[in-house]
A and B are shown apart, each in its own frame.
Chain A
Amino acid sequence: MEGKQDVAEGSEALTSPYVLEYTYRRSLGPVVGRFLTGLREGRIEGVRTASGRVLVPPTEYDPESGAAVGDFVSVGVSGVVQTWSWVSEPRKGQPLDRPFAWALIKLDGADTALLHAVDAPSADAMRSGMRVTVRWRAERVGSIHDIACFVPGDEVQAAEPVAPAEPVRRMKSPVHMDFTIGAGRTLSRFLEGVVQGKLLGRRCPTCAKVYVPPKGACPTCGVPFADEVVVSDTGTVTSFCIVNVPFEGQTMKLPYTYGSVLLDGADIPILHLISGIPADEVRMGLRVKAEWLPEGERQPTLASIRWFAPTGEADAPYESYAEHQ
């Protein structure tokens, strides 16, 4: 999809790779915590429900009755494959780096199945009803990955002992998603202008308001924008914030000031950095002008404007921007 031509507008719709990732910290609660503590110690535990079923992996509440469960029972390390799916090209983060099967495995003594990997030589070696047995990881930490995988057959391999430790209470849960973000043709056109040092707004044919950056349609009238309008790179600070607190993903040196800047000729302010002035002298009504990166360094992003700096003009009267905060 990258670099896709937008024939309708004759201009290129910009795309960008985008990675969204984070490592969540889960509190496990008493039931899943005990299950993972068991895995660390080389033991698989399930829970027995009021109706006598043994759930492995355990759930905190009985899916049949909603009652809390608490009767823990150990089950076997071998069991029967209920069904399976072959993975011919394993992906990063999966249990094995060679082709393997995902399988639902009902362990001996359990009434429900556990999802895990079976290390089989090929898909031909897999079938529903086959018996498989746990292969433990040597270094176990209290995670489902303490089970390295299952292997065909009944040959039990003892888990190597691990040093005693506190019961497992939490786990890390990393997520990672790869996206390709499209800017869309309206924003792409605006960003092309930014590379050329121009701010291109668009005017609503109904209410005549000028939006910069433009949107596809007017948010109040619901009609597509019409004329393109060149908006000044000089404007008025309508309000601002001085940031003194760091946050994840933040790249600016603290403290920094950003403000709503109502560009001359626009009807909606943009947010940008305010610089070239001590933070405690930034004020509402301050007149500022864009400080552009040199032409060769500009990218299709508003970061091509380094910041807005004071023009030295007299402050704009409050009435001129009161409606644009």
Chain B
Amino acid sequence: MKTRCAVIGVGQTKHAAKRDDLSLAGLVREAALRALEDAGLGWADIDAVVIGKAPDFFEGVMMPESFLADALGAVGKPMMRVHTAGSVGGSTAIVAAHLVESGVHERVLTVAFEKQSESDAMWALSPKYPFVPPLVAGAGGFFAPIIRSYMRRSGAPVDVGAVVAVKDRLNALKNPYAHLHMADISLEKVKASPMLWDPIRYLETCPSSDGACAMVLASEAAAKRAPNAPAWVRGTSVRSEPAQFAGRNQVNPRAGVECAADVYAQAGITKPREQVDVAEIYVPFSWFEPMWLENLGFADEGQGWRMTLDGVTALGGALPINPSGGVLSTNPIGASGMIRFAEAAQQVRGRAGEHQVAGARTAVGHAYGGASQFFAMWVVSSASA
């Protein structure tokens, strides 16, 4: 590493079911301008742009890095696109961080987006294909049997999922950028909502959102000139594994375990539950909170649900998870991972607003994608070392 890297600017759109007021270009621009403003910079100060989005089918735009160059002030600059399915928002930020850490660029703008209102994610994820019967109904249909396996293995009480669903929606009320603001959310409401993909109920699923997230990443020298507090990148890691192989542990994938171990080692974390102050993890279906708590080493295998039920993961608990409201409250798929990374940064910068975790110094951002097979994580801190 030639230089340390810091987040010096963060911007998000107001996420919504449909941002009909904006084109795709306008959507990424809104987030990017807010990140530049936070960093006290203009387009000319940016050396390169790294952009990410989920599968091309989602908007039918095959080369967003070319299509969106004007909107991101990238004409005449290096611009590249990253794609690692749902984890892309995280891996995109990591590629940008590496461009800074390697000394190639001093200030990199990184942006991720999805405009789900332009198509249909269920179609894009489950297109009918020759030789294969059309069984699986989108992401919910894919993950439902895995959640059932987790429930069986851990012996968790059946309402753990509903507790997560309520907690994250209440957190979202404190986040002005969140898509869902459900003031009347309750355990009763979640349990009374329709069973879509048994065992997943409607209110235990993420929404479909239009939104974008952007960050300005800077070298140590550039970060020292930034007007607002930086978040120092203390570790980055990406891991993947095949979607199918004999004996694959889909509930607790090995790639996720190894991704977490790697990023903690880089950040000098030996006891994540004690040393991490807050985490933004990718929870598109409520039961993934306890599952990932175990996968990421915050709880022993089979015990993650206890942290949820004991209130450890609530805002005000010992390890708040998704104080922003998480993917359960906002899901522009390609951006969802970057929002996790950016919200983690905002926490250690002390800039998370109403959902700030008091005294947060070390935070984890996490994203996953595909068939629980692509993982991206970073650790950010208020201290550079």
Interface residues of A (CB under 8 A from B): 14, 16-18, 20, 22, 24-32, 59-66, 68, 169-170, 173, 175, 181, 183, 187, 191, 207, 209-211, 218-220, 238-245, 247-252, 258-260, 267-268, 271-273, 279, 284, 300-303, 318, 322-325
Q: Do B197 and A325 touch across chains, with their CB atoms under 8 A apart?
A: no
Whole-angstrom CA separation of A6 from B23 in the bound complex = 48
Chain B interface: which size bin? 35 or more
Return chain B residues, CB-CB under 8 Å to A250: 126, 134, 137
* Residues of A contacting B195 in the complex (Cβ-Cβ under 8 angstroms): 242, 244
B140 touches A251 (CB 8 A): no
Which stretch from B98-106, B114-122, B226-234 is at the chain A interface? Answer: B114-122
Is A267's CB under 8 angstroms from B70's CB? Answer: no
Once the chains are docked, how many angstroms separate the CA of A260 from the CA of B43? 51
CB distance from B60 to the nearest CB of A (A): 5
Contact of B138 among A29, A247, A251 (CB under 8 A): A247
Assuming the contacts A22-B119, A63-B75, asked whether A284 and B23 have C-beta atoms less than 8 A apart, the reply is no
Q: Who on chain B is nearest to A180 by CB? A: B130
B146 at the interface (CB under 8 A from A): yes
Closest residue of A by beta carbon distance from B26? A29
Q: Which residue of B lies closest to A179 (CB)?
A: B130
Kindly state the separation between the CA atoms of A60 and B197 in the bound complex, as whole angstroms. 41
Q: What 0/1 pattern do residues 136 to 159 of B give for CB contact below 8 A with A? A: 111011001110110011000000
Interface SS of B by simple majority: loop
Residues of A close to B141: CB separation below 8 A: 241, 243, 258
Contacting pair A66 B26 (CB below 8 A): no
- Contact between B197 and A244, CB atoms less than 8 A apart: yes
Q: Of B115, B129, B196, B245, which is within 8 A of A244 by CB?
A: B196
Segment at the A interface, from B162-170, B246-254, B300-308, B317-325: B246-254
**Contact (Cβ within 8 A) A26 B138:** no
Q: Is B37's beta carbon under 8 Å from chain A?
A: no
Q: Tell whether, in the assembled complex, residue A59 and residue B70 are in contact, meaning their CB atoms are under 8 Å apart.
A: yes
Residue B132 CB within 8 A of the other chain:
yes
Chain B residues, CB < 8 A from A284: 148-149, 152
The complex places the Cα of A29 from the Cα of B136 at a distance, in Å, of 35
Contact with A along B228-245 (1 / 0, CB 8 A): 000000000000001011
Would you call B4 an interface residue if the criterion is a C-beta within 8 Å of the partner chain's C-beta atoms? no
Flag whether B192 is at the interface (Cβ < 8 A).
no
Q: A239-B145, A249-B126 are in contact. Are A271 and B136 (CB under 8 A)?
A: yes
Which residue of A18, A20, A323 is within 8 Å of B247 (Cβ)? Answer: A323
In the complex, what residue of chain B is closest to A184 when comparing beta carbons? B131
Q: Is the CB of B60 within 8 A of A22?
A: yes
Bound complex: CA of A26 vs CA of B120, how far in Å? 12
Is A243's CB under 8 angstroms from B131's CB? Answer: no
Are A247 and B245 in contact, CB atoms less than 8 angstroms apart? no
Q: How far is the CB of B130 from chain A (nearest CB, A)?
A: 4
**A248 contact from B29, B122, B245, Cβ within 8 A:** B122
Determine how close the nearest CB of chain A comes to the CB of B36; give it in whole angstroms: 11
Query: Are B245 and A259 touching (Cβ within 8 A)?
Result: no
A-B contact pairs, 16 of them (CB 8 A): A20-B127, A27-B18, A27-B118, A31-B23, A60-B70, A66-B75, A210-B246, A239-B145, A241-B137, A241-B144, A244-B197, A245-B197, A247-B123, A300-B131, A301-B130, A301-B132
Q: How far is the CB of B201 from chain A (nearest CB, A)?
A: 10
Assess the A209–B128 pair: CB atoms within 8 A.
no
Asked if A32 and B245 make an inter-chain contact with CB atoms under 8 angstroms apart, the answer reads no
A62 & B194 in contact (Cβ 8 Å cutoff): no
Which residues 306-330 of B have a CB within 8 angstroms of A? none
Give complex CA distance A236, B59 in Å. Answer: 39
B370 on the A face (CB < 8 A)? no
User: How far is B20's CA from A271's CA once the two chains are assembled, in angstroms?
Assistant: 38
Min C-beta distance of B169 to chain A, whole Å = 20
Contacts of B134 in A (CB 8 A): 249-252
Interchain nearest-CB distance for A145 vs B (Å):
18
A16 touches B250 (CB 8 A): no
Residue ID in chain A nearest B148 by CB atoms: A239
Which residues on B sit within 8 Å (CB–CB) of A301? 130-133
Give chain B nearest CB distance to A30 CB in angstroms: 8
Q: How far is the CA of A14 from the CA of B132 in the complex (A)?
A: 13
**Residue among A18, A247, A325 making CB contact with B126, cutoff 8 Å:** A247
Q: B245 touching A268 by the CB < 8 A rule?
A: yes
Is the beta-carbon distance between A302 and B25 smaller than 8 angstroms? no
B246 near A267: Cβ-Cβ < 8 Å: yes
B115 touching A27, Cβ below 8 Å: yes
Does the CB pair A249–B127 fall under 8 Å? yes
Chain B nearest Cβ from A247, distance in angstroms: 4
B132 touches A302 (CB 8 A): yes
Q: Is B198 touching A60 in the complex (CB atoms < 8 A)?
A: no
Given contacts A60-B70, A63-B70, A268-B246, contact A239 B115 (CB under 8 A): no
The 5 A-B residue pairs with the shortest CB-CB distance, nearest first, are A29-B23, A66-B73, A16-B130, A242-B198, A241-B144
> Is residue B355 within 8 Å, beta carbon to beta carbon, of the partner chain?
no
B19 at the binding interface (Cβ < 8 Å): yes
Q: Which residue of A lies closest to B133 (CB)?
A: A303
Once A27-B19, A191-B131 are accepted as A-B contacts, the answer to whether A325 and B146 lie under 8 Å apart by CB is yes
Instruction: Kindly identify which residue among A61, A238, A259, A300 contacts B25, using a CB–CB cutoff of 8 Å.
Output: A61
Residues of B within 8 A of A191 (CB): 131
**Which of A24, A29, A66, A220 meets B60, CB within 8 Å?**
A24
